[in-house]
Amino acid sequence: MLLCIIQIMLALVVLGVAVVAAYIWMQGDAKMFFDMKKRTAAEKVSETAERLDFAVEVDYKNIGKQEATLIDAYLRIYLPQEQYDDVLLRGKVNLKDVLREDDYFEAVLVPAGTGRNMVLRFEAYAKNGKTMAEALANVPDVDVALIVECRGREALYTEKKYFTLTAEELRSLV
């Protein structure tokens, strides 16, 4: 009799764990989508003879079923100084409503089904005694990676999305 009660209790515990696991699985997770194909064209923010500031906007959306957290975001700019050393190009990522002057990305919660805009801000510095126009005269197309660390219910994951700043787009800014 005692063995039968223990077996029934054990079966109920296993059934309960299975029901909870199925419920959690059905809830889904966060899934961030960064629409790089719809990014805006580069737009000049300010310019001096030796420095050009410009920005690009990118839409993002949580297409998952749970709230997401964007923990960190930064840019990786592929303009090697060994091949082209007339300009130094740096970038930072901000939320459109929260522009910051430092390199800090303020984490943000993104409820399921919602999204906003990111502003990718670039600073181009002319080097080797050249003006900004001279420095960008022979600049090649520049690939840029937007790297965003995201978190939902599951483990931290990284989204890495690429786009290209064309040479024509950069030269049209000066």
20-58 confidence digits (pLDDT tens): 777 766 667 889 999 999 999 999 999 998 999 999 999
pLDDT at position 27, please? Answer: 66
Residues 130, 101, 37: CA angle, nearest 5 degrees: 80
Q: Look at residue 12 and tell me whether its pLDDT is greater than 90.
A: no
Q: In the chain, where do the E strands start and end?
A: 32-35, 43-47, 51-62, 68-78, 87-95, 108-110, 115-126, 142-151, 157-165
Per-residue pLDDT, averaged over 59-83, amounts to 93
pTM for this prediction: 0.82
Q: Look at residue 124 and tell me whether its pLDDT is greater than 90.
A: yes
Pick the CATH number of 28-171 from 1.10.3470, 2.60.40, 3.90.550, 1.25.40: 2.60.40
3-state DSSP assignment of residue 146: strand
Per-residue pLDDT, averaged over 120-141, amounts to 93
- The model's pLDDT over 135-168, given as tens digits with 9 standing for 90+, comes to 999 899 999 999 999 999 888 999 999 999 999 9
Q: Look at residue 98 and tell me whether its pLDDT is greater than 90.
A: no
